Structure 1
Amino acid sequence: MAKAPRPGTVKTRLHPLLGPQRCAKLQAELIRHTMAVTTAHTPSAYLAYAPNDTMAAISTAVPAGVRLLRQCGEDLGQRLAAAVTDAFTDGAGPLLIIGTDAPTLTADHLSAAFTALEHHDVTLGPALDGGYYLIGLRAPHTSLFALAPDVWSTDRVLAATRALADGEGLSTGMLRPLRDLDTPEDAAALLTDPALPTPMAALLQPKAEAMTQVSIIVPVLNEESTIHSAVSRLCRDFPDCELIVVDGGSTDATAELAALHATVIGSERGRAKQMNEGARHASGGILWFIHADTAIEPEALGQIRSVLADPAVVAGGLTLRFDRRTPALNYLAWTSNARARRLHHIFGDQAMFIRRTAFDELGGFPDLAIMEDLEMSRRLHRRGPLRLLPATSTASSRRLTAHGTWRMIAFMQYLKLLYFAGADPEAIRARYTAGPRLFPKRNPAT
């Protein structure tokens, strides 16, 4: 039973330790190891894969002769029952059903399981977390998988399965327990186990370079006119960074254009939701959030890595400027940079970067309709210093100039005052979307 090694969907409890990309590599290695153990012991092997659209990817990762089955069913119990039925219908039996979460599984465990089935109806390989890494059946006793949905993935799975077997009068043999690999605690324990295969030990070892790897996350929505130049520029200037574009449901060609240069993932609409989803898929120890209509000075990457070499620093941003130079825009940039230095309020157009550990400890950006960057910088500052770097982030002035720069400056200060006064962020967002009406333009005819 194997889940395809797609980043962001496998070994999610290990994401804080390894990141989604390394978790996917770990899952691929677990599949390879399990299949190698299985095919060395028996010529008849099946791999039940999920999701359904991953057959092509899975088939390249398994040895020749392994028969592929699609996992079918709503929960794990239904999928196990369907796979067992398919295998027995195909003429298999006795049958061992194995997960891919036990990295210290060996052929000796399989031999012991088949031996136990010579004397018992069922054999179970207990996992230390209360589940099982293996179940052996002499006949298709699919009723053993009819556990309540809230029992699966708990420490009650093994006991509940034994109770079902006892209730049906089936004799059960028990194997030696093994540790599954699901959590950072499992990883730490397995690293001390000499039976852990070397490739998996290498993947589980903390790597200093992972802490300095930078993942660029770009939230987008209907940015067809800017996305191609934005992502191609980021690829050119920061070729060793992971680039993730998070589309919030664009109705134009944004996602298709971004996919030419970056990994594109979908998300619910909302900048906070999109940035958090991007972080969930990112593998870097440094998360860098950049708007699609912002140009970043190439020197910024080296400055980010340099400032984060100080373990006390948790986050920061770049010096803001605008793509047009007017007295009003110059004033706004100057006050924004002064605010970032003195009040530690960093907004999205300053290309906020965050140490991954701090991001995870805070649970990501707060799920606010607006001001999520302001609130995130306030929370980060409580954990450690934030730094404003000399490298520039050149933001688009399109919205500011469309409504009148001075009017927009006053309007944004008004919205911030509403936020600090405790107004509902959803109401503030609606007010922002409606535009600045605090100081309506005079009608020349009056």
Structure 2
Amino acid sequence: MSPLPVKEALIVFMRYPEAGQVKSRLAASVGFSEAAGIYEKLLRRTLGVVTDFITGRPHVQAYLFFTPPGRRVETEGKFPGPWQFQPQEGKHLGERMGRADLWARDRGFTRVVLVGTDVPALEVKDLEDAFDTLNCVDAVFGPASDGGFYLIGLRRSFPPLFSPSEWGVAEVLGRSETMLVAAGRTAFRLRTLGDVDRAEDLSLLGMERLFQDRLTVVIPTVSSPATLKELLCRLQVQTWPGDEIIMVCAEDGMDGTGPGPSLQRGEGSFPRNGGETCGETAGEENTLPGEVDLRSGVTPLRCIRAPRGRGLQMNAGVAAARGNLLFFLHDDSLPPAGFAYSIRKTCGDPQVSVGCFRLAFSPSNRALDAVAAWANFRSRFLKIPYGDQGLFCSKAVFEILGGFRFPFLMEDLDFVKRAGRLGKVAVLPQRITTSPRRYLEKGVLRASFQNHALMFLHLLGVDNRKLYSAYYGAVFPVREDCAP
């Protein structure tokens, strides 16, 4: 009889990042809001590492054990990913970890690894080593520099290990190892990492580039912000503290369709999670909403005006951007979970000049699936992604390239082509979902043919305004600031 397959579970212990409820020792020095923002960055980076690990080991089931239990809706909305959510139970940390371990055992998992969320240097290899080590020892620890541990893995359950009530002391790791040895069990230590609990630990963040990056999401649009509720709410709760969102609304009258979206006071503050709002409005003209505290848990959203034309609007957005990383997002697309981590990680590769995500339509059908499959093939092997795949790059690369050169169409193709001369074009495996509305209105075959015809004409050097007229069936007014 063949042995039963080994079931492995990765449990992430996290707390909802609410000011005054996390990192109390750190907050004593930097304040509640700042401490909550720091913890959220640590949490998001950890979840990014977990996502990368699960991608490489899809048989491992991940769980987020969160607290407080009453913030389940907010936690699931703010931290989606390849995991399931479970509330923590127990009076102290040891009891909560013990109950989580038993919860996993009751569901047939034989190897269980628990990991914390306050270590800035955790890597995929640390998680791989933990599970691999459990092939030959009973327990594995990831030692923290303060005498505790950031990770514990057990091949067999050992409830006494979690019985002590004191866990914020320097003897935690040594005490745990002594209990295991006394019970005749073997243990192994992984590499030691520092965790962030006090102000003197903040220097660890300076050693990790992801914590220094600031992402600006640029959304060119001809729509009112009030019509983009789902997109804006998703962006505001899934970006990192310190990131920003800039909607670039088209100025009025350029194509004869009338004025652009109104930016009056109060517009753009959208309800979320049973009454909370995604932002605060400041009432400043051409700003929607206004500045929001970077540490409040809600990403600032600003709305500016620019001449109509996606290339022109995106250039204007970058001119107003404060971030060192740029993410260009169409207003009918939704980025994948964890996109802010993926962009940070990819832009940190010095060999990469520009990146994008794989494409998917929602809703979809077989014809649209074929269009997406071709787009993903073209992006991966020909390195020709389109803008609806969510282009991103560093601001430094954008400035070297001189921004988008074409105002109306093919600005994305031209940009990627030039960026490809500077470095690699990275196509990430996560899928960005976009609306199929234009394909469904025109017909999939017709829309696809039109896209490729325009690309061919663009490569032949046809003027951008002529392409606009062919695409939209309208003559664009001549403006000096719209010249390619």
TM-score (norm 2): 0.45
Q: Max radius of gyration: which structure?
A: 1
- Between Structure 1 and Structure 2, the one with more helix by share is 1
